[in-house]
Amino acid sequence: MVQADQGWQGGENTVIDPTLPAILLPPSPLGKSSMSRPVRAKKPIMTAALQLFVEHGIDATGIREVSHAAGYTEAALYRHWPGKEALVRELYQEHLTEVVARLDKAIAGASDLESKIKVAVAGIYALYDAEPLVFRFILLTSNDTRTALQDYGRTPLDVVEALANQAIQERHLDLPSANLAAALTGLFLETAVFVLYGRLPGPLASHSEMVSRLALRLIQP
């Protein structure tokens, strides 16, 4: 279970991307009144759920804890989701979509394979440093049956596999694309996990150049 007090936490000097969705920003004071209209409850509840799921684990966090942390009744939560699993899936979908969008945007502005790898690593690591809860939540739930068996469209793994396919075609590598994608994904993610648990110093962005260099070595003919 991922604990929020371990490893790199970001800090007061961390630059927050103003384009991030409202769920990633501090909850509005409007969400602190159970008398507010139900539609106002959704984002504060999602924000509270994200933090509690990361800090305590999904299984250890109940509907009551989430709704109370957001300043609402359990009934307010049930107006938006039939239960905790639906809430977990929506959180995962929203943040997964954000990660893929960031990757696509970064890669679209790169002219060659080497540049694509560098900007992809830098972009995702910057997201981790700015919003570590988001990154941790995705890691926490990526192999969870509540999310793993759902169809979310394109995922970060699809983006990495596309880069692997491009490397194989351009550099005539005699490798299955899935194997190369797995190796690249392991390099990207395990570095983040090492920072998360304090085995490497943060911020994660300070490792983006080294990770990019190692990734480029993997795709050498």
Taking alpha carbons only, the member of 179, 170, 17, 194 closest to residue 210 is 194
210: left (phi over 0), alpha (psi -120 to 50) or beta: alpha
Taking alpha carbons only, the member of 11, 6, 94 closest to residue 49 is 94
Indicate if the pLDDT at residue 175 is higher than 80.
yes
Q: How does the average pLDDT of the chain come out, rounded?
A: 83
Lowest-pLDDT range of 139-148, 154-163, 164-173, 204-213: 139-148
Per-residue pLDDT tens digits for 3-57: 444 444 454 444 444 443 433 334 433 344 433 445 688 999 999 999 999 999 9
Q: CA triplet 99, 104, 106: central angle to 5 degrees?
A: 95
Per-residue pLDDT tens digits for 55-67: 999 999 999 999 9
Rounded CA gap, 219 and 171, in Å?
8
22-218, CATH topology level: Tetracycline Repressor; domain 2 (1.10.357)
> What pLDDT does residue 148 have?
65
| Domain boundaries of the chain, sorted by first residue | 22-218
Per-residue pLDDT tens digits for 144-156: 776 765 777 888 9
